[in-house]
Structure 1
């Protein structure tokens, strides 16, 4: 018999090997981004948002507002607020008229509302005279350097600043007004040749309108670069008396269908 002490102990099977990094690996795998519809949608929205922000910044830069002085920006903001206030007042007036008509105010309320609306449209169409505060702009042009686009820019700047009625010399400016030059270099407004100095009268808030014309790179600076020393005076009362003949549209007709 063999001695039990002489038996070599048999090797035992290796036990499970501990992997200390196994838990961290699971966390890493859980944190990996997965390609799902939700992730794709969120990525697309982030890209579109970034593109929109960049586009908006570029538009603000292109508008040249960053070159304006603080007081100019404040003035433009005041002009916007005033326009907003005017629109709010008009909304309130129309709301009161509507409520009066609904409450059975009778024909008198309807007639009064129609007359007020007709007067406002007459001012816009240039068929009735208008008075109010505004500015008077004088543009000398003895050397005939003025171009139609200079006058057009002036009119557009006045409208943007809230001018409600405009007249150049004895011609009323309306939505369809056009500008040109004669063979002699004189300004033509709606087919009528006018002589320098050109006098522009505009009814609106005097401070807002005059400041809009004087902003850096604006109308007055452009004219000065052409050698034209235009001047602007604020007026507490100014009259726009030039009239346009009322005309019937040749093609457009009012839409009466509900």
Structure 2
């Protein structure tokens, strides 16, 4: 007897799933709504930290961002003024003055000269030895983002190449020098901006408290940074003139 009778064919067609245009449209709408919901949840998670912040904390964050913007605008104006002076200079005096100014700036950034100015003193008390090298690195980066122009950690002058690593036992190694708590940081920059940046929600101070440590900030009109670094000569890099530049 044949297995492919008309009755069996009708039964298979009846059992075969059929997807209508309406069902496809409903499915696509569900997919879009699900994606939108997931995106909103992700955004809410990112904003929840600031949504829980107090009004004075939010004002402090906005104030910090505003001061950073003001610094950038001032730097742009200074560079534009320097360019105009150099373009109008006929005797080379402006170029010499600019070269001296840049040499002084680079000496500060490279840590080869002592510096003084307004800023803060940050003392990190760590009775339980829970502060890690990465936490001190985050602190340094946060201070730089807030406009720190010079930083001394213990007896070490922090520069662009400064590194941190956890020491065996107790303490943290900074540029080869082992430091023990309490860690003392001297920072030159705008005192209010630096203090505010450290105490934003989810920031450095909160991380220290979560680890059982404590950060104490003192704003000062004058901070003296005496630690210096020896000037290092580059091994591979060399300065180029405009005429030496080549496109890859």
Normalised TM-score (structure 1) = 0.72
1:208 equivalent in alignment to 2:222: no
1:133 equivalent in alignment to 2:123: no
Q: Which residue of 1 aligns with 2:16?
A: none
Q: CA separation of 1:71/1:185 partners in 2, compared to 1, >3 Å: closer, same or farther?
A: same
CA RMSD of aligned residues (A): 2.5
1:62 equivalent in alignment to 2:46: yes
1:244 equivalent in alignment to 2:229: yes
Q: How much has 1:57 moved relative to structure 2?
A: 9.0
Say which of 171, 184, 187 aligns to 2:169: 184
What is the alpha-carbon distance in structure 2 between the residues aligned to residue 59 and residue 174 of structure 1? 36
The gaps in structure 2 that reach 5 residues or longer are: 1-31
Within 5 Å, give how 1:20-35 maps onto structure 2: none
1:150 equivalent in alignment to 2:135: yes
Q: Which residue of 2 aligns with 1:87?
A: 72
What is the alpha-carbon distance in structure 1 between the residues aligned to residue 177 and residue 195 of structure 2? 27
Q: CA separation of 1:146/1:112 partners in 2, compared to 1, >3 Å: closer, same or farther?
A: same
What is the alpha-carbon distance in structure 2 between the residues aligned to residue 165 and residue 59 of structure 1? 36
After superposition, give the CA deviation of every residue in 1:71-112 in whole Å (9 maximum; x if it has no partner). 222222222222222222222222222222222342221111
Q: CA separation of 1:251/1:196 partners in 2, compared to 1, >3 Å: closer, same or farther?
A: same
Q: Which residue of 1 aligns with 2:158?
A: 173
What is the alpha-carbon distance in structure 2 between the residues aligned to residue 194 and residue 84 of structure 1? 35
The gaps in structure 1 that reach 5 residues or longer are: 1-46
Q: Which residue of 2 aligns with 1:163?
A: 148
What is the alpha-carbon distance in structure 2 between the residues aligned to residue 237 and residue 57 of structure 1? 47
* Aligned residue pairs, count: 208
Moved more, 95-104 or 185-194: 95-104
- Equivalent pair of 1:79/1:162 in contact (CA under 8 Å): no
Q: Which residue of 2 aligns with 1:25?
A: none
- Equivalent pair of 1:76/1:208 in contact (CA under 8 Å): no
Normalised TM-score (structure 2) = 0.74
- Equivalent pair of 1:179/1:187 in contact (CA under 8 Å): yes
Q: CA separation of 1:202/1:251 partners in 2, compared to 1, >3 Å: closer, same or farther?
A: same
Q: CA separation of 1:216/1:85 partners in 2, compared to 1, >3 Å: closer, same or farther?
A: closer
Larger Rg: 1
